[in-house]
Amino acid sequence: MWRVDEDARRMWDEHAGTFDEQPDHGLLDPGVRAAWAGVLLPALPGPPARVADLGCGTGSVALLLADAGHDVTALDFSPRMLALARRKGVRNLLRGDAANPPLLPSSFDVVFVRHLLWAMPDPAATIGGWVRLLRPAGRLVLVEGRWSTGAGIPAGRCRELVLRHRRSATLRRLRDPRLWGQDVTDERYLLTSLR
């Protein structure tokens, strides 16, 4: 099983101090935060759902979901990211590898992952691990994209990978500039799998 290497951990530790400067990372602008709430909250079951936020970064989305009444467990492998999340008020924080999270199987109503699947060496196996964390009626909620930098994962490929493990995978394009703090021309999407 793949594990996060020390170089990757150091890189994200170095980026932690400026991570929230991206509007969609920090959700510091009330309009951006409201736009994300408008996308994410309807994709989740009603509160209080038990949510695993894998690769939580500085915890902005974890806090958004917790403020909406959900019971959020936030996981990241970067100690500096977790320290910033703790300062923001995120309560249930764990250090660990999102590709192999130290969480109990069948214990979450939602597994939420943002901007992470594309970086996994074996995305299909990673999705399989995330699905195992879900209770029988659980939801997998992914925010991904194929960005102008060339990084990322196309929506069709992501959907195909999810359908290896689930019966449904619904895509919603995320083109609204309020989500990103700017106009976007590349591919960005929300994928929700209910079963």
Residue-wise pLDDT for 86-109, tens only, equals 999 999 999 999 999 999 999 999
- Residue 12's pLDDT band, with cuts at 50, 70 and 90, is confident
Check if the beta carbon of residue 74 is closer than 8 Å to that of residue 56: yes
Pairing of strands 134-146, 108-114: parallel
Q: Which domains does the chain show, CATH number per domain?
A: 6-98+106-193 (3.40.50.150)
pTM of the model: 0.94
What's residue 5's pLDDT?
A: 74
The per-residue pLDDT for range 105-144, each reduced to its tens digit, is 999 999 999 999 998 989 999 999 999 999 999 999 999 9
What's residue 4's pLDDT?
A: 57
**Does the pLDDT of residue 74 top 70, yes or no?**
yes
Q: What is the mean pLDDT of the chain?
A: 94
Secondary structure (3-state) at 143: strand
**Does the pLDDT of residue 84 top 50, yes or no?**
yes
Rounded Cα gap, residues 174 and 150, in angstroms: 17
Secondary structure (3-state) at 86: helix
The mean pLDDT value for 143-160 works out to: 95
Outline where the chain has alpha helix (H): 6-19, 23-26, 30-40, 60-67, 79-88, 123-132, 155-163, 177-180
